[in-house]
Amino acid sequence: MSLFRTELRRLSKRRFTRYMTLLGLLVLAAVVVGVFFTNQKIDAGQLARAERQADQQYQEQVRWSEQERVACEQAKTAGTATDGRYPDDCSVITPPPREEIKAEWFLPSTFDFKETFDETLIPFAAILALVGFVIGASFVGAEWSTGGMMNLLLWRPKRLTVLLTKLAALLTGILAVTLPAAVLWFAGFWAVANFRGSTEKMTSGVWQSFMLTGVRGVVLVLVLTTIGFALASLGRHTAMALGGVVAVMVVGQFGLGILLSMASVRFAEAWLLPTYALAWMTKTVTLQDWNSCNATYYGECKPATMDITWQQSSVLLSVGVVVILGAALWAMRRRDIS
């Protein structure tokens, strides 16, 4: 217990921890403020005007497609060359259905809490996961590279206990930042919705779903923190963890992405890690294969799809944590410390 408290104290004393946390929180605050100023409350007048504009647009489309169809039929009966300007069957030239033209298109953006709040949890989790990763990596990495770990082991020779206690202190610290930040995030966007949008139609089911997304976000933060910690401990240097991740992201992911798209592999995103992080947050990510797209005349396309679910992501995350943390613990037990 004394070791746990000491490690928590060490974590909070570190300037890197403080600055990174502050930076992360400032970015989060900037997001809330940005959303606040780019959204507006919509009154009934604006809504009616938008509906009228959508109607007008629809009428235009109807007129235009009517003209085109007539022109097409005339060209057909006259037998003039059309250079593929018109389809073989002129009757496919129809206006889009009325509901395809939405009133929102003619409205300034507004923040509907029910519709958009869970999307905001994605950047929330992403930013804090990044912060957690670098803090975790630097917390143990700096200990290794400055000899602090060796000093500590002279006092506490049980190596696994030391490493796991450090991890527990780190996760506690990250949680102590993430949970209040999440509460403020909910409150902040509730306020944004209140002043710059609407908080209507919130049912307990919606709340529950938001809470669950929030919990998944917190789990993602903790998982990435653990991975950063384990990688830095494995490499015994902060730079190792950060370098490793940059290498994986840039070389691995971008390279892989380019390679897969060159080989025109179907659903190339299924091979990329961020897809799974996204699926973890949104429950499903639907990948689309645009090569198998059957376009309708006015550009609508129905591609083949593939779903990546949060269950698949959870398997990937657990395997990742178990393998990387396991390797770090094994190395801690076995390797000489000098």
Report, in Å, the least distance between residue 162 CB and another protein.
Answer: 9
Nearer to another protein, 4 or 106 (CB): 4
Q: Looking only at residues 122 through 161 of this chain, which bind another protein when binding is defined by CB under 8 A?
A: 142-143, 146-148, 150-158
Q: Token digits for 165?
A: 């206690």
Q: Which is nearer to another protein, 232 or 317 (CB)?
A: 232
Q: Are strands 111-112 and 197-198 parallel, antiparallel or unpaired?
A: parallel
Q: How far apart are CA 180 and CA 234, in angstroms?
A: 31
Is residue 10 a contact point for another protein (CB under 8 A)? Answer: yes
Q: Which residue has the tokens 């507006």?
A: 40
Minimum CB separation of residue 158 from another protein in Å reads: 6
Give 197's strand partners: 111
Q: For residues 278-337, which are near another protein according to CB under 8 A?
A: 334, 336-337
By beta-carbon proximity to another protein, the closer residue of 153 and 219 is 153
Min separation Cβ 271 and another protein, Å: 34
Q: Which is nearer to another protein, 145 or 312 (CB)?
A: 145
Residue 237 is a binding residue for another protein (CB under 8 A): no
| Residue 338 binds another protein (CB under 8 A) | yes
* Beta carbons within 10 angstroms of residue 234's beta carbon: 23
Q: Which of 3, 23, 71, 184 binds another protein (CB under 8 A)?
A: 3
CB of 146 to another protein, least distance (A): 5
Tell the smallest beta-carbon distance from residue 18 to another protein (Å): 11
Give the SS3 label for residue 302: coil
Q: Which of 2, 80, 204, 294 binds another protein (CB under 8 A)?
A: 2
Verify binding: residue 22, another protein, rule CB under 8 A: no
Distance separating alpha carbons of residues 251 and 244, to the nearest angstrom:
10
Among 7-15, 32-40, 230-238, 299-307, the segment contacting another protein (CB under 8 A)? 7-15
Specify whether the CB–CB gap between 156 and 162 falls below 8 A. yes
The mark string for 38-77 relative to another protein (x by CB under 8 A, - otherwise) is ----------------------------------------
| Start-to-end C-alpha separation, the chain | 27
Count of alpha carbons within 13 angstroms of residue 108, beta-carbon side: 13
SS3 305: strand
Minimum CB–partner distance for residue 163 and another protein (Å): 13
Q: Is residue 237 within 8 Å of 145, Cβ to Cβ? A: yes
Determine the longest span between alpha carbons in the chain, in angstroms.
97
Q: What is the DSSP string of 302-330?
A: --EEEEEEHHHHHHHHHHHHHHHHHHHHH
Q: Which CB sits closer to another protein, 52 or 156?
A: 156
User: How far is 249 from 128, CA to CA, in rounded Å?
Assistant: 18
Residue closer to another protein, measured from CB, 38 or 172: 172
CA atoms of 190 and 187, how far apart (whole Å): 5
Residue 234 beta carbon to another protein: minimum distance, rounded to whole angstroms: 18
CB-CB contact of 219 with 128 (8 Å) = no
Q: Which is closer to another protein, CB of 93 or CB of 149?
A: 149
Question: Which spans of this chain sit near another protein (rule: CB under 8 A)?
Answer: 2-3, 5-7, 9-10, 13-15, 142-143, 146-148, 150-158, 334, 336-338
